[in-house]
Amino acid sequence: MPAEKLRRLDSGLLLFQILTHHHMKTIHYTSDAPAPIGPYSQAVWAGHTLYISGQVAINPSTGKVLDGDTRDQLTLLMDNLQAIITSAGLTMEHIVKVSAFLIDMGEYAIFNEVYGRYFDHDTAPAREAVQVSALPAGVRVEVSAIAYDPSK
């Protein structure tokens, strides 16, 4: 049975540390991004790597899904992703891998336009983008990411 410990840090950040005999992971949470809508963590540190769960267009203040087009939804979810990265003491440059899920691949150009505002073209992370038949809460797009911090 793992030993669990909850710490509250400045700026409302909560860290849950789950320790086992051979493994340590730190659950990362910030109130500046939406709370998970299921049994998963916002993000998890494992060593130098931060695994960020799929973000969707949920307003972190209200917990409500943004009723907008793909451009609006992607902008909000990328802001949420950036909030998680920032709360972890990182920048978007630390992201090494992104997975994107779109309801309509016909909106791929819109996706690239908005996504491109958050990453430098020369140092953008590896990425795949796939079309799916449905996403949680009826959203049009979801993005997950993996970040690496060599100093951690």
pLDDT of residue 14: 52
Torsion of CA 116, 55, 101, 24, to 10 degrees: 110
- CA-to-CA dists, residue 57 to 45, 115, 145, angstroms: 23, 14, 15
pLDDT of residue 4: 45
Cα distance between residue 60 and residue 68, in whole Å: 16
pLDDT 10s per residue in the chain (152 long)? 334 444 444 444 555 544 444 568 899 999 999 999 889 999 999 999 999 999 999 999 999 999 999 999 999 999 999 999 999 999 999 999 999 999 999 999 999 999 999 999 999 999 999 999 999 999 999 999 999 999 97
pLDDT of residue 24: 83
In order of their start, the domains of the chain are 3-148 (3.30.1330.40)
pLDDT of residue 23: 61
